[in-house]
Amino acid sequence: MPTPSRSWREIPQRYRLEAGKCKGCGAVFFPPRVVCPQCGSREFGKTRLAGSGKLLTYTIIRVAPRQFEDQAPYAVGIAELDDGVRLTAQVVDCDFSALAVGMRVTIEFRRISEEGEAGAIYYGYKFVPE
């Protein structure tokens, strides 16, 4: 069981979608990086990701890893947000039959998983149909 520190560290990203914007070339990275893979700059400013986008791809996971067994089957997808950044997350509140490449989605704050009945609860972002 990991300590809560690992998840706590990602709060700005998971709760507020804070990304890094390279001061050298303007590229946006989520999660933020220390060095820009495009121009090599080591200076970044903070920015927030757009709250909506479209699905580039998706699937329905039926055989889940530990901590997600109770959730299966669940849909996941990669969306390209309106600011061009891509994000991977579950797709919820959507009938599986309605999932489609190109569908518009919005980001919502949801419970992601928990370390059993007594462990920490992890929150983060998921996609819902726009």
Partner 1 sequence: MAGIVGYGAYIPRNRIKVEEIAKVWGADAPGYKKGLMLEEKSVPSPDQDTISMSVEASKRALKRAGIDPREIGAVYVGSESHPYAVKPSGTVLAEAIDATPDVHTADLEFACKAGTEGMFIALSLVQAGAIKYGLAVGADTSQGAPGDALEYSAAAGAAAFIFGKDGLVAESVDTYSYTTDTPDFWRREYQYYPQHGGRFTGDPAYFKHITGAARGMMARVKMKPADFDYVVFHQPNGKFPLRAGEILGFTKKQIEPGWLVPKLGNTYSGSSPLGLTATLDIAKPGDMILVVSYGSGAGSDAFVFKVTKRIDEVRDLAPRTRFLLDNDKNYLEYGVYAKYRRKIRKAE
Partner 2 sequence: MRDVVAIGVGMTKWGELWEKSLRTIFVETALLAIDDAGVDRIDSMVVGCMSSGLFVGQEHLGSMLADYLGRIPVPAARVESACSSGGLALRQGFIEVASGISDIVLVGGVEKMTDLTGCETTFALGTAADQEYEGFHGLTFPGLYAMMAVAHMHKYGTTREQLAQVAVKNHDNGSKNPLAQFPFKVTVDAVLNSVLVADPLRILDCSPITDGAAAVVLCPAEMARKLKKPAVRITGSGQATDTIALSSRQDITWLESTHLAAQKALAMAGRKIEDLHLFEVHDCFTIAEIMVTEALGIAERGRGGRAVEEGLTSLKGRYPVNPSGGLKAKGHPVGATGVAQAVEVIKQLRGEAGERQVKGAKRGLTQNMGGTGGSSVVHVFEAD
Q: Which residues bind partner 1 (CB under 8 A)?
A: 11, 15-16, 70-71, 90, 92-93, 108-112, 121, 123, 126
Report whether 86 contacts 80 (CB < 8 A).
yes
How many Cα atoms sit within 13 Å of 130 on the Cβ side?
A: 14
Which C-beta is closer to partner 1: that of 36 or that of 112? 112
Q: Please enumerate in sequence order all residues whose Cβ is within 8 A of that of 26, keeping only pairs 6 or more positions apart, or say none.
A: none
Q: Does 38 bind partner 2 (CB under 8 A)?
A: no
Euclidean distance between CA atoms 68 and 81, whole angstroms: 25
Which C-beta is closer to partner 1: that of 29 or that of 68? 68
How far from the centroid of its chain's Cα atoms is residue 28's Cα? Answer: 15
Q: Does 105 bind partner 2 (CB under 8 A)?
A: no
Could you list the residues that contact partner 2 (CB under 8 A)? 6, 10, 30-31, 56-69, 71, 74, 76-78, 86-90, 96, 101, 112-113, 122, 124, 126
